[in-house]
Chain A
């Protein structure tokens, strides 16, 4: 089955700096890569996603890149703010596999004011 590895497990940055979280996946059939943000005690919420036919996608201060050849994808947050502090999860899924997502173990991002 699919295996998703996520790094780093914790990340601390100063407000205004950029943050990058990286994930690798094992199943070359995976074609959809969502990112979720989970604030303390809350549910995960989808913040951005990318499909396999696209190399990069941007939404305001967040962007995601995908390298299908190397089987890795990354989340980039620019101009970080204290409210960006949360746990971020990457995931990989396949259209033909009931849309099941395999999740990474999460990255705890702390933005220091």
Chain B
């Protein structure tokens, strides 16, 4: 049972480049989330999904996009990367009961130069 798997673990992007952060979970969780974590800060919600085909914006969605074509996968797309998007990105999932904790992926450390 792998839990939540994120790829890649590290990436350096040049300003203006694009990339997709992959996230897959094998727990049949309905709810999935993308957070970013800046140094010394808490986690800020970028996008979330309550099921296949349903996504919505979180607190800091600008510059990002998501899709949820299957229950398992929830990729995060960065278009036109900017230095302000340098951060650690965590994908998380929960069962969808609304009162249970998250299982986090191992994170993607992204640097935009």
Interface, chain A (partner B; CB < 8 A): 1, 4, 6, 31-32, 34, 36, 42-46, 49, 51, 89, 93-106
Contact = CB atoms under 8 A, between A and B. Distances in A.
Contacts of B35: 103
The 10 closest A-B pairs by CB, nearest first: A95-B98, A46-B101, A103-B42, A32-B99, A43-B104, A99-B98, A105-B42, A34-B101, A103-B43, A98-B50
Nearest to B95: A99
Contact of B98 (A34, A44, A96): A96
A46 B58 contact: no
B37 to A, nearest CB: 9
Contacts of A97: 98
B106 A43 contact: yes
Interface string B37-49: 0001111110010
Contact of A105 (B41, B101, B102, B105): B41
